[in-house]
Chains A and B, each alone.
Chain A
Amino acid sequence: VSGPLHLVSGLSAALSPQNLMWVALGVLIGTVVGIMPGLGSPAAALAILLPLATRLNPTTGLIFMAGIYHGAKFAGSTGAILLNVPAEASSVVLCLDGHELAKSGRAGPALGMSVLSGFIASTFGVLALTVAAPAVASFAIDFGPPEFFALVLLGMLLVVSMTGKSRVKGFIAMTIGFLAATVGGDILSGQERYTFGNLNLYDGFEFLPIVLGLFAVAEVLVRVEETRERPVFPVPTKLRELLPSRADIVKCRRAIASGTVVGFFVGALPGAGSTIASFVSYIFAKNISKHPDEFGKGSLEGVAAPEAANNSEVGGAMIPLLSLGIAGSSSTAVMLAALLIFGVQPGPLLFTSHPGIVWPVIASLYLGNFMLVVLNLPLIPMWVQMLKIPYWLLYPIILCLAIVGAYSARQSMFDVGLMIVVGIIGYALRKLEIPPAPMLMAFVLGPQFELSLRQSLTISNNNPLIFVERPISAVILGLGAAVALAVSTVRRRSAKVRPPMSLPSSSLTPSAVTNRTESA
């Protein structure tokens, strides 16, 4: 049966009143959590609400999470446009033009355009995912351990080389994540590793304390350190003032189209994520625009393109997640963890083994975006009020919720302590500009990565050449090497172009933001 037909049946399953309620609730909660300063990244919002989602049945729980994800993303762009604060790395580009628009009194159209282009892009993203994901899955059905190993390595290479200032620091983050994943009993031999005889560690580190410490607690500590109140710009209160005019839409149609396509393909690369998608689409839209000079000074196209990419990327990112079982970003890492908690192993077999889960979830991505337009666009004035809630009132609540989340996974005080320790470590890592995203991805993918490595070497009699002798794994590894090489060349060249000391080194370059709040 073809993909689109499955999508329709998935949509009808997702459209049950209960699921609709949860996707609406997810969008609302995601927006609230995302709009609160300090929990801006979808990964942190998802992690805080994961205990709740895992109480639901798998389909509803995943639909709920899709809603949260969309809500938090929307909240990210609101903060970027109104406060010039990119809550997550992927909304950094949105600050460029979105905030200029807000300053010149056009916050309404900027917000409206971001929702509209996001909706169009998401529609395309979900439709393309419907066609592409089963195709990728059936292509990957013969993938053995070497191919899986190569894929994870490619994803890690991409995320390390594209996020953060320093590749050494990115690789340090990745290595720590993989090492954290080895703690506990070895799956093949049962041998205890790094448990120090502690019974709590025999099953390894629990996911929630790690992700809550690394994202929620560390983010709170970073915010507590900097105490700056930021001004909010006046926002229109009527829905009509929010809608971009017909002329605006006509002007932005090329930007939306290009952003949508770029976002989808970049998102489908494991490890690239929405940060890269939004940057690439912005530059692409600027190059094909009839008014490139307006970019950076408050161009609606400069809002439409990255926001389109940001949303179609969600569809793209679901391809490696669902068909290959590889998380390409912090948010999809949380999603992957949720799938595993539900006992659903993503991978080539998912589409045949769990069609009743996978198709409603894909459909709910679309539903989540629809709810976003229906619920959030009229509520924008209310959300803006929430932006004004002072941080000193919020962060104690965030920390209390973190305790609940860490404890809830297996009713363990050990996990609460673990989260508290991981929190201060995560804070130190952020101050050192060691990015948390590769660490979380490596932690989630670690067990399977190790298994595939050991199985590959078992197949080949400990001959490491197996990874380049198998054609598909060789191609994947070659691709990874090519990308890493290309990125380092571009970096070196762009460094040469700029004269030394042309900017204060503490200024927040996009890469530095990526480093601080990587969450894509």
Chain B
Amino acid sequence: VSAEQTTGLQDRRRSSRADLVAGILIACLGGALLIGALNMPLTGQDHVPGPGFFPSVLSGLLAALGLALAANAARSIRRGPEYEPATATVLDPNATQLAPPAPPLTKRGLGRVLIVWLAFAGTGFLVGVLGFVPAAAAFILFLLVGPSRRRTPRQIVWALVAAVVVPLAVNYIFTDLLSLLLPTGRFGWEFADVRALGSGMLDLGPTVA
């Protein structure tokens, strides 16, 4: 067994464990939704299917599918990793090596994902407080010099430029040109020409939606 195949087997083992956990979680979610669905009227007037009918069927199905996923994963863990028939491609079994293999999930990779997502979530909150432009500027500045570790003076200058220009440009395009509203936050800081609101510089016809 080559080194490459060994790594492959380790990935498979890890993905089976992930499937097991995911299957159990999905089954629990299905169960919880089923309880919720059973509290809705199952039938309406004259015994026609009511609002609870479709959610009950679906959440029951979801719970069953979660259990099936967990059971499959448990079986593949018990039997040891092996080639799973399901990986065969429907249309061309020979076309296997189309793209480079996906790198396995590393701690560093996951760390980067979490940092970016937490910053994104924080920005979502800040947008509501400060408004779009300051929050987006802070977000861009943080991402460009924070996790990416690009800190030569030149790169920091570029990051500063991007952090100022991008939010203002987005704000201008969406608010002034398209007369869409962007969040202005608790303090109501406007970065747009408010007179343009409602008319929009491009004639877009009547607003739908």
Contacts and interface: CB of A to CB of B under 8 A. Distances in A.
A225 B112 contact: yes
Contacts of A379: none
Contacts, number: 295
Interface string B79-100: 0011111111111110111111
B152 interface: no
| Secondary structure call for the B interface | helix
B183 A407 contact: yes
Given A179-B58, A423-B120, A498-B93, A168 B7 contact: no
B170 A401 contact: yes
Contacts of B201: none
A498 B83 contact: yes
A432 interface: yes
A191 B91 CA distance: 45
A86 B58 CA distance: 34
A507 B48 CA distance: 50
Given A191-B40, A501-B83, A508 B100 contact: yes
Interface string B54-70: 11001101100110110
A507 B143 contact: no
A431 B105 contact: yes
Interface in B14-69: 15, 18-19, 22, 26, 30, 33, 36-37, 40-41, 44, 47-55, 58-59, 61-62, 65-66, 68-69
A500 B180 contact: no
Nearest to A191: B51
Interface in B104-134: 104-105, 109-110, 112-113, 116-117, 120-121, 123-124, 127-128, 132
* Residue from A55, A279, A434, A500 whose CB has the most chain B CB atoms within 10 Å: A55
Given A179-B62, A221-B116, 9 more contacts: A179-B58, A392-B143, A392-B144, A396-B162, A404-B174, A491-B86, A508-B98, A508-B100, A513-B99
6 contacts: A96-B98, A395-B116, A403-B123, A413-B127, A432-B19, A510-B92
Interface of A: 51-52, 54-58, 60-61, 84-86, 92-93, 95-96, 162, 165-169, 171-172, 175-176, 178-179, 182, 186, 188-189, 191, 193-194, 217, 220-221, 224-228, 276, 279-280, 282-283, 341-343, 392-393, 395-397, 399-401, 403-404, 407-409, 411, 413, 416-417, 419-420, 423-424, 427, 431-434, 450, 453-454, 457-458, 462, 487, 490-492, 494-498, 500-513, 516
